[in-house]
A and B are shown apart, each in its own frame.
Chain A
Amino acid sequence: MTISLAPSTREEAATAPPPDLKPAAGTGATRWRRWAPVVLVSPMAILAFIFIFLPAVLTFIGSWFTIPLAGGSWSFVGLDNYREIFSNGPVQRSIVNTVIYSLATIVPSLVLGLMMALAADSLTRGKALVRTLLFLPMTANMVAMAVVFTYIFDFRGGIANTLLGMIGAAPVNWLGSTDYSLLTVALVGIWRTASFTMMIFFAGLATVPGTMHEAARMEGISGWTRLVKITLPVMKPSVVFAVVMAIIQSVQAFDTVRVMTDGGPQYSSELIQTMAWRMGFQYFDLGAASALSFLMIAALLAVGLWQRRVLAGSGDK
């Protein structure tokens, strides 16, 4: 579907030349050539500024005010919103949970994704079918799928506990106990994200030239050493990309938690995202919700700045 927008041959492009272009050199063309980059980049830059950056700035500004939804003007309250969220037990819990959730999903998603990709890649037959099946979780509509998972992890009749029963283990209250609820939503997060990283790694493996494997075998390098010393470094861009996507997926965990546990019980699975939503759209406390949201942006920016060189470096050789 991208093909229609991006003619794949010169002929197609030539039949419909952009009207603003003169092939011959001249002052107009030179001026155009100088300004073209700016013109080409500005739609993206302007839209990203309006729809992503500006709302984030507004979030920051809003965090200094109380914002009455029913009407009336904003009133400046200084750091009150921040003070409120930091002294609020459930919010503190949600911050801790978010860190745990991120660690519990990002790393396993990457490791499992890589393992699945390696296993699928080593198949001689049925590669495409296996790949498609492993990628299915990414296609799921999470609002509907979360309902299925609620059933799977149901305390009494769920399949998860039926399986545990088969190996003689006691049933676990996956969604209803404070010890397991965060783990359970994290498992669903891994289910989805690992399928995505699998696909990225799978594609990355295809970029490792076969000759390299040959050479490695000649020198007697195999297994773990080959993976760490040769395969991963060669597909470094894929690794970076997978890390970025795993972080984004983890940060955007929202539907699953809302549908499966709504942050409970006792805030044991509440994340910053769901807490901010709760404050904004249930308590209608937009100031505090903005403060919490901005806190999250700030934390992500800190991680981003720290990772910046890695990110920018991808493919930047």
Chain B
Amino acid sequence: MRATIRIGKWLFLAAALVISFFPFYWMARTSVAGHDEVFSAEFSFLPESITFEAYARAWTDGALGNAMLVGLLVTFAILALQLLTCIPAAYVLAMHRRRWTGKLFGFVLLCLLIPGQVTMIPLFIGINQFRLGDTLAALILPFATSVLGTFMIRNQMMSIPRALMEASEMDGLGPVRTMISVVVPMAKPGIAAFSVYSIFVHWNDYMWPLLAARSPEIQTPPLALAIFQDAATGFDYPALAAGAAIVTVPIIIVFLVAQRHFVRGMSGTEITG
């Protein structure tokens, strides 16, 4: 009985690993195979021949260098603004419980349920009213705060004993300094978790940049990849896969670096250790 469970567990884990990883393998395989192999009649696990030509094509034709710089700038500007707005808000929502903070938290939850696509049209019109269309600001501003971030960080802060905060405010530390030097260090896992999530989402966002960014100078990585999806003459699959691989690497590095904090923060929990 126990042995069966054990074997079942191993099989499950092996299957999960294969399924999680396989599409990435296939992307890598496509990126180094020739174009004619992509829709090859016979399934073969390894490519017939390996060439890195698609990477060169992706890098130059897609102007990925510039796109990744823009992506980096946009992603981190968004993250910085979100942390600057979400951390104080989360701090107040977690530590200063009054009637109005309860209502405000209700507002946060309400906003959490509004899906991004449905607000895109009014947002687009609004951004253009203020003549911000096709600027970096249009890519950044709409995401200057995050209700999900507020929610996540607030939940993390709930795990900090309020007595600690009260004591430090009693000691003459103002609310801002209490927040920065007492609460934030303890909420680091939640902040890290949200940061990584935010980076993932905005680095890979396609729909909003497609509407908001027209000029090549401010094209983000997913937009740059669109050039290989030639609607009239067919996709350049190897270049698309190579480009996707190039733009995925920084994200994986971010994840590896932040992993330890991230995992702790993901629990969204009040119990620490």
**Interface flag for B83 (CB, 8 Å):** yes
Within 8 A of A (CB), among B107-154: 107-123, 126, 141-145, 147-148, 150-152
A252 touches B117 (CB 8 A): yes
B267 touches A144 (CB 8 A): no
B122 touches A58 (CB 8 A): yes
Given A148-B30, A255-B206, A317-B270, are A56 and B114 also a contact pair (CB < 8 Å)? yes
Within 8 A of B (CB), among A17-58: 17-18, 20-25, 29, 32-33, 36-37, 40-41, 43-45, 47-48, 51-56, 58
Given A51-B144, A59-B121, A139-B251, are A133 and B89 also a contact pair (CB < 8 Å)? no
A144 touches B225 (CB 8 A): yes
**Interface flag for B56 (CB, 8 Å):** no
A208 to B47, CA, bound (A): 46
A257 to chain B, nearest CB (A): 11
A179 to chain B, nearest CB (A): 22
**Interface flag for A182 (CB, 8 Å):** no
A286 to B118, CA, bound (A): 11
Contact with B along A291-313 (1 / 0, CB 8 A): 00110110011011000100110
Give the residues in chain B near A17, CB-CB below 8 Å: 177
**Interface flag for A273 (CB, 8 Å):** yes
Within 8 A of B (CB), among A161-211: 162, 191, 195, 199-200, 202-204, 206-207
Give the residues in chain A near B79, CB-CB below 8 Å: 1
Nearest-neighbor residue (CB-CB) of A302 within chain B: B113
**Interface flag for B231 (CB, 8 Å):** no
B268 touches A238 (CB 8 A): yes
B27 touches A206 (CB 8 A): no
A141 touches B221 (CB 8 A): yes
A293 to B252, CA, bound (A): 34
Interface 9-residue window, one of A77-85, A115-123, A260-268: A115-123
Most B Cβ at <10 Å: residue of A20, A207, A273, A308: A207
A33 touches B145 (CB 8 A): no
Chain A contact residues, majority secondary structure: helix
Within 8 A of A (CB), among B1-30: 5, 9, 12-13, 16-17, 19-24, 26-27, 30
A92 to B116, CA, bound (A): 22
Contact with A along B52-81 (1 / 0, CB 8 A): 000000000000000000000000100110
B241 touches A138 (CB 8 A): no
Chain A contact residue count (CB 8 A cutoff): 117
B9 touches A119 (CB 8 A): yes
A45 touches B115 (CB 8 A): no
> Within the complex, which residue of B117, B148, B206, B240 is in contact with A248, where a contact is CB–CB below 8 Å?
B148
Give the residues in chain A near B255, CB-CB below 8 Å: 132, 135, 139
A55 touches B122 (CB 8 A): yes
> Within the complex, which residue of A145, A202, A251, A286 is in contact with B115, where a contact is CB–CB below 8 Å?
A251
**Interface flag for A140 (CB, 8 Å):** yes
Give the residues in chain B near A51, CB-CB below 8 Å: 119, 123, 141-145
**Interface flag for A103 (CB, 8 Å):** no
Nearest-neighbor residue (CB-CB) of A165 within chain B: B43
A274 to B83, CA, bound (A): 31
B164 to chain A, nearest CB (A): 13
**Interface flag for A280 (CB, 8 Å):** yes
A43 touches B145 (CB 8 A): yes
> Within the complex, which residue of B121, B169, B267 is in contact with A241, where a contact is CB–CB below 8 Å?
B267
**Interface flag for B86 (CB, 8 Å):** yes
A40 touches B105 (CB 8 A): no
B267 touches A207 (CB 8 A): yes
Given A43-B84, A237-B155, A276-B117, are A202 and B174 also a contact pair (CB < 8 Å)? no
Q: A62-B122, A317-B270 are in contact. List 19 more A-B contacts (CB 8 A).
A: A1-B195, A2-B192, A6-B87, A14-B181, A22-B174, A36-B174, A37-B96, A51-B144, A59-B122, A115-B16, A141-B204, A141-B225, A202-B263, A241-B152, A252-B117, A273-B118, A300-B115, A314-B155, A315-B156
Of all A-B residue pairs in the complex, the 6 with the closest CB atoms, nearest first, are A144-B244, A241-B268, A55-B119, A44-B89, A293-B118, A40-B88
Query: What are 26 inter-chain pairs, A to B, with CB distance below 8 A?
Result: A1-B76, A1-B257, A5-B84, A17-B177, A23-B172, A37-B96, A40-B89, A44-B150, A47-B144, A51-B141, A52-B119, A52-B147, A139-B248, A141-B221, A141-B222, A151-B39, A159-B22, A191-B23, A203-B264, A255-B207, A276-B118, A301-B113, A303-B113, A304-B109, A312-B106, A315-B268
